[in-house]
A and B are shown apart, each in its own frame.
Chain A
Amino acid sequence: QSALTQPASVSGSPGQSITISCIGTSSDVGGYGYVSWYQQYPGKAPKLMIYQVTNRPSGVSNRFSGSKSGNTASLTISGLQAEDEADYYCSSYTSSSHVIFGGGTKLTVL
């Protein structure tokens, strides 16, 4: 199964908002409300930012929000800060009881 499709890179200036898309199929993103998003800094383990499409774990800033429409999930970061510069990955449960990740998006804060 191919990875979920994410843009390779996105950028924004401090204070702006950016959105990262994650395109799947009806067998993963579109078929279930089990999309999650992870933030990863170089050399570090990933960190859960969003689960079940829209939910934020305790401690994650409310500047991070998630949504889904059809086979496409999205992560929006509002009020961009320098510390948001990292790699972001989407993930979904699949119809074969597996998990699939997106290819990752590098966020640059200009």
Chain B
Amino acid sequence: QVQLVESGGGVVQPGWSLRLSCAASGFTFRSYGMHWVRQAPGKGLQWVAVIWYDGSEKYHAQSVEGRYTISRDNSKNMLYLQMSSLTVEDTGVYYCARSLAEWKHPRYYYYGMDVWGQGTTVTVSS
């Protein structure tokens, strides 16, 4: 079945780095763009980053630009999120999600996230 499984979360101190992983199965991973979305405790959803199906384009939210990097390995059906200079504001559940998108030259337009993982929890605390 179509599935996304996140891993790599944990408890870290401010300033530390962490890499999250998302294993995809049950669909042709290399054909889909992928997102990371996070949710702070008791708060709403916050988009973090997107990567195109082939990794050629990446976009990050302003709040994480320069600290986070999204990447993928299509040969392994894996999505990653490298996080550095973590602060307490980065605490939350991180989800990976499959992107629905359509191509209108010269870019993809994402119009939904139809498959989500169960999330992995990141806690930044001193």
Which residues on A are within 8 Å of B, measured CB to CB?
1, 3, 32-34, 36, 38, 40, 45-48, 51-52, 57, 87, 89, 91, 93, 96-104
Interface residues on B, range: 20 to 34
Q: Is the interface of B mostly helix, strand, loop or mixed?
A: strand
Q: How far is the CB of A80 from chain B (nearest CB, A)?
A: 22
- CB–CB B44/A104 < 8 A: yes
- CB–CB B112/A101 < 8 A: no
18 additional A-B residue pairs with CB within 8 Å, beyond A91-B113, A93-B110: A3-B44, A32-B109, A36-B111, A40-B45, A45-B118, A46-B45, A46-B113, A51-B111, A51-B112, A89-B45, A91-B45, A91-B47, A93-B111, A97-B107, A99-B110, A101-B46, A101-B47, A102-B44
Give 27 A-B contacts (CB < 8 Å), ordered by A residue: A34-B109, A34-B111, A36-B111, A36-B112, A38-B45, A45-B116, A45-B117, A46-B113, A51-B100, A51-B111, A57-B112, A87-B44, A89-B44, A91-B112, A93-B109, A93-B110, A97-B50, A97-B107, A98-B47, A98-B50, A98-B59, A98-B61, A99-B50, A101-B44, A101-B45, A102-B44, A104-B44
